[in-house]
Structures are given as C-alpha cells and as structure tokens.
Chains A and B, each alone.
Chain A
Amino acid sequence: MAKVAAKPATMAQALQSAMRDAMAEDPSVHVMGEDVGTLGGVFRVTDGLAKEFGEDRCTDTPLAEAGILGTAVGMAMYGLRPVVEMQFDAFAYPAFEQLISHVAKMRNRTRGAMPLPMVVRVPYGGGIGGVEHHSDSSEAYYMATPGLHVVTPATVADAYGLLRAAIASDDPVVFLEPKRLYWSKAEWSPDAPDPVAPIGRAVVRRTGRSATLITYGPSLPVCLEAAEAASAEGWDLEVVDLRSLVPFDDETVCASVRRTGRAIVVHESAGFGGPGGEIAARVTERCFHHLEAPVLRVAGFDIPYPPPMLERHHLPGVDRILDAVARLQWEAQS
C-alpha cells in the first residue's frame, strides 16, 4: 500500500479507526456499550460507527455493565467478536463478576473448547479533573485475574495497533485507554498505520545508560519529560513503555535493566498491591546481579482517588520521579 502522508490525529481518532477497520474487515466484530451509538461514546471514540455499520453492529445497550459483559459472553460463545465499551473505569465494577468468573475462565473451564475472543475497552486513570468514580486506575484488579490480557497504549500509533491486535486476539483483552491521552496528537495516518504491535511486547521509547524508567499508559509522557529533565543533571535515563501488562515482556524490560543497572517503575495507580510491586519483583528475580540499587516504585498514594482539586498532589509527576532517580545513588546512601 502506498504510504499516505501522515496527518495529526488524536488517540481517540486512532482507536476509532481501529474499530472501523476491524469492523469493515470482519463482520463478526460488534461494538456495544452505553452511549456508543448515536452519541459516539462520551469520549467520541465510537463516533460514526453506528451510522456506518448499523445499530446491530454498534449498539447502544441498556445501562447495565454486568448485562453488557454477560451478553457479550454469549455473543462470543456464538462466534461474534464483541468489543465492549465500559464508560469509565469505576463503572466497570458491576461487570467484574462476569469478567472474573466467566470471561477470564471460559477457555480454561472448557479445556480450550470455548475460547472467548472479546475486547473490554476501559477508559482509565486520572488527570482530567473528573469528579469521584471517574479516575480510577484499575489495572491491578485486571492483572490479578489469570486468563485476561491487559494492554494499554500510550501513543497514537499504538492505540491503533494494539486495538487491532486486541480485536484479532483469540483471548479476552482488557484494553485500558488512558483517558488523559485521548486528545494527545501525533502525526499518524489511518491509511498507513504502523505495523500492528503484537500484544506482549514492550518498547524502548528513549535509550539511556544510567537507569531505566519502566512505565505505561498515562505515565509515559511524564517519564519522558522526567528523562529530559534528568539529563540536565547528568542522568541518562532509558524509558521502557510496557504497552502490555499481561503478558509481560520480561525480555525487553530485563535487557534494559541489565544495561542500565538501575530501575524505577512509574504508574499512577496505588503503589501497595499495585503493578509496580510485581514488576519490581520480576526484575529483581531476573536481574539481581546486574542491579546497583533496589528497584524503586513511584506510584499514586495508597488512597482512594482524590477529588480533582487535589489530584495533582496524588499523581506521580516529574519531581517525584526525579526524587526517586536521586535515590538510585544507592551506594552513596548505604
């Protein structure tokens, strides 16, 4: 295909293109959720799909998350590929019973006879000034459930590539969309998308020699900014974007940490019991002899997500990352 000139596109538009292209290619792909039809979703990610493919393919459901996911299970059992939108992170919780007891386990319970290919799209995370229940980082709950893939794009190109890969996957994928990056823009063309990112592969977004920042989704731009700021102080930071939390790319992450000898995991969900603990443990298990300092975590505080006026104090920002970078001078401290 001829390379088409890239134009600025938002992450929301790239996600929409991914669904449009998947629906055009495969009639079994169905989009469903609250307000996904006429309105095009509260973030407009499904805008135009109902018009283009009809209401049977892009369906405004009754307002019931357990019902949405439960019916999607049945649809997948009959051979459709549902792409379900949960309106906001905290409104997906009523669907957890379906997700955990059925979506995640159907393949296993049926000894492989009944896989459930489906995508559960969840806008997640804070930083948009939303009132309570609109800013949860729920990735740890999903990660803790065997049977689910959990992916989260941080760039416009990955939004497209990962969503295509998720829809094509024969396993259920929880697709976490960092809502504060919905309006982030990049030069990108839906006609000449990057090769589809395989699920389970991390990517080095910035190379460096003195330490690795391991991050994903909404925290990627923060880490890149911190890496720039740190370079002024003589730190040459490498930034790894995980893209996929499950499966986890030990190879890319550990190769980086072995090169740099130091690592910090950065995410905005709570630190305790959060993804960072798992990642730090894996890195330590695999790279112990290469480490020159303990793997540190910079995470959201261990509190319910705060009201918008206080969220900037909660979200890990550049300064908190730089503080952690300073603490990596372990020998000097001990």
Chain B
Amino acid sequence: MTVQELPGAASYRPTPPPAWKPRTDPAPLLPDPEPYRVLGTDAVDGFAPELLRRLYAELVRGRRYNAQATALTKQGRLAVYPSSTGQEACEVAAALALEDRDWLFPSYRDTLAAVARGLDPVQALTLLRGDWHTGYDPREHRVAPLSTPLATQLPHAVGLAHAARLKGDDVVALAMVGDGGTSEGDFHEALNFAAVWQAPVVFLVQNNGFAISVPLAKQTAAPSLAHKAVGYGMPGRLVDGNDAPAVHQVLSEAVARARRGGGPTLVEAVTYRIDAHTNADDATRYRGDGEVEAWRNHDPIRLLEHELTERGLLDEDGVRRAGEDAETMAARLRERMNADAPLDPMDLFAHVYAEQTAQLREQAAQLRAELDAEGDA
C-alpha cells in the first residue's frame, strides 16, 4: 500500500492493534529462586549409592589434581594454572552427565571436566604447559579445545549440536562458561540460536562469584544468571554448585531433555572460586578472607563425605582409599609432567594449512638452518 492509498486524516479511525500474545508462557521457564539442593534432603534416597560414591571419588581426585597442577606451576612445569578448587562438583557432574557420544565444550578453567571425561591428564594440560595449544584430538574424546577467549566456544556447541540433530544423531553438547563470560555477546548469540533452533545443548554457567577481580554484582543486574534463559525462550535452572548430586541431577535432566528434542537449558551452578583466578593472580586485592572461609565451610567434598558417612555409604576405609587413589594419580601426573615434553620446533609449520605453502616451506628451511647452526655451536 502506498502512502496515497492510506486513508487520510479526516477518514482515519484508529483501532486497537491486532491482539498480541507472548509466544511462550514464561512461567515454566523461570528458575526457582532458591538453588536446588539434594544433600541433607530426602532426595538423596533417589540416588544409586554407586553414583554417589563415584561422584565422591572423582571430587577427591579432582581436588588433588588441582593441587598438583598448581604445584607444577611453582616448579615452572606449567605456564599457568587456573584452578577449579571449590568448583569440583560442577566439573565432575558435567563430565558424568554426558554419554560417550556427547560433546563437551569447556572453557580454560575446565581441565577437570575434560579429565573426568577420560582425557589423559597430561594431554589435558598441554595448553597450560605450553608445548602445544590443544594436546588431544577433540574428536577422540568429544571434548572441544579448552577455550581461552571467553564464551566463544558457546556458539560452537550450538552449531555442533544442531548439526548432530540434522544428521539424526541423538548427541547432546554441554557448553561451560563462567559468570563473567555471560556478559560477552557470544553468550547471548549462542543462547538465542540454541533456543530458535531448539538445539540439543545444555549451557552450564559456573557462577564462582568473580571474573578475575570483578564481582557478580558488577557483571549483571539480573536476579540470577539462570533468569537470563527466559528471555531467549529456554528454561533456566539454579543449582547449588557445591552439591555434587544436585548438579549431576539437574544437568542429567537437562541433557535428557535436549536428547529427546526438548531444546536447550541454561543451568547456573552457584559455587565459589577458592583459589585465586590463576596462580599468577593476587586475590587479596579484591576479596576478604572471611568470604573465602564461609565457602570453605560449604565445601563440595566435605558436604558429600558428610552425607555419605551419615548414611553409612562411606566409611573411613572408603575415604582413605579415595585419598590413596588420588595420591597415586597425582604422583603419576607429577612424574610424567617432570619429564620434558618432546618438542620439535619444526612443528611450528606443521599444522598451519592442510598443505604447506611455498612461503612456509621457505621459512621452515630457514628455521632448520638456524637449528642446525645452533646444534653445531
């Protein structure tokens, strides 16, 4: 209709706009305001004792792994280590909520999730050791490279999950991100795509209180990060991130929902970063000891240990065995990390393109000559 065809002012009679209704009822998408908890409630009865014991063993191993990796930074064996101490329940539950065929899209802090999924601990540390960027074949374990640029792996998870669905595979992608990462544009775009495509993705936000030095209150004004889901049209779930069975249950439900075609879910796990941001960070600049202490008393390992002991599912012997198992893992890790990584500088040129370019062949020859000269010297 051109302007000329519009009724003139004299004959124009305004009417109300055509009826509008929300596309989706937001109520079922909204998270419960209180983080979901299992420990200390009857819900624990619904868990298989083997699962609870497995979670416990993995938590203990994870804690030991964090301590060992941090120690390795002091010896110069790792360039840097972003510890997930205090967040082990999220890491472990993330790994255990997935089937083998599913994919994990970790951030740089999520080495533990990758290891709990079966990745060789040394290969998982390659990025942080500094000998190569990604020490494993992502296809082998269905673990994407640990992503350093924040939130950039989230759209990848959506795309992969979407592709799997297009191919008729019932594969789910679990994408992990920190509270700070939820501010990035990529986070929002990923959620929107996931919801519009109803992609089988689960987003797990580990809200550990800080993005380096910036507290959550300066990161978002939302009631919770889980609330962000509703605006995109997916359910948001809040869970106590230090309650391993609770995280496992919420994630497993979200994964199951995605697998049966129910679309994406955003899970916010409320937890705390006990260590500094990385070994290179000075956390005393931005937070007090009191806060850290309060969270130490809500420790994921002690919470689960207490529950299992109370219920007679774990005795002193079991605790000792888990500790010994973790110690063995740490000793093995230490030993392997203390051996120098075999390095070939010519690798610099090996994987830039599928086929070496003439320019790179020239540069490789230059480096070869330099190395030979070094060898002679």
A residues with CB within 8 A of B: 34-35, 37-40, 42, 60, 62-67, 90-91, 93-94, 129-134, 272, 301-304, 306-310, 313-314, 319-320
Contacts and interface: CB of A to CB of B under 8 A. Distances in A.
A73 B213 CA distance: 25
B370 A319 contact: yes
B21 interface: no
Please list the 3 inter-chain residue pairs (A to B) with the smallest Cβ-Cβ separation, ordered nearest first.
A39-B213, A308-B130, A62-B183
B348 A310 contact: yes
A94 B212 contact: no
Interface string B76-91: 0001100000000000
A62 B220 contact: yes
B218 A60 contact: yes
B252 interface: no
8 contacts: A42-B281, A63-B184, A93-B149, A130-B80, A303-B348, A303-B349, A303-B360, A309-B130
Contact of B180 (A63, A94, A134): A63
Interface string B269-299: 0000000000001000110000000000000
B347 interface: yes
Contacts of B357: 302
B345 A131 contact: no
A304 B185 CA distance: 24
B352 A131 contact: no
Given A94-B185, A302-B360, A313-B367, A132 B127 contact: yes
A246 B349 CA distance: 31
Contacts of B213: 35, 37-39, 60
Contacts of A60: 213-214, 218
Nearest to A314: B348
**Chain B interface category by residue count:** 35 or more
A67 B149 contact: no
Residue among B186, B285, B348 facing the most chain A CB atoms (10 A cut-off): B348
Given A38-B286, A91-B149, A310 B127 contact: no
Contacts of A272: 359
Given A64-B185, A302-B360, A313-B348, A307 B131 contact: yes
Contacts of B149: 90-91, 93-94, 133
Nearest to B186: A94
A126 B37 CA distance: 45
A129 B130 contact: yes
A12 B362 CA distance: 38
Contacts of B347: 310
B150 interface: yes
A304 to B, nearest CB: 7
A197 to B, nearest CB: 32
B332 interface: no
Contacts of B249: none
A67 B183 contact: yes
B363 interface: yes
B219 interface: yes
Nearest to B350: A303
Given A34-B212, A63-B184, A307-B133, A302 B285 contact: no
Contacts of B180: 62-63
Interface string B112-133: 0000000000000001111111
A228 to B, nearest CB: 20
A302 B358 CA distance: 11
A270 B181 CA distance: 30
B218 A133 contact: no
B218 A130 contact: no
Residue among A60, A90, A91 facing the most chain B CB atoms (10 A cut-off): A60
B79 A308 contact: yes
Contacts of A301: 348-349, 360, 363, 367
Interface in B177-213: 180-181, 183-186, 211-213
Interface string B337-371: 00001010101110010000101100100010011
Nearest to A313: B345
A302 B348 CA distance: 10
B79 A129 contact: yes
B328 interface: no
Contact of A131 (B127, B183, B211, B360): B127
Nearest to A41: B213
B148 interface: yes
A62 B180 CA distance: 7
A63 B152 CA distance: 13
Interface string B31-73: 0000000000000000000000000000000000000000000
B219 A309 contact: no
B189 to A, nearest CB: 11
A45 to B, nearest CB: 14
A86 B214 CA distance: 15
B100 to A, nearest CB: 28
A63 B133 contact: no
Nearest to A319: B370
A39 to B, nearest CB: 4
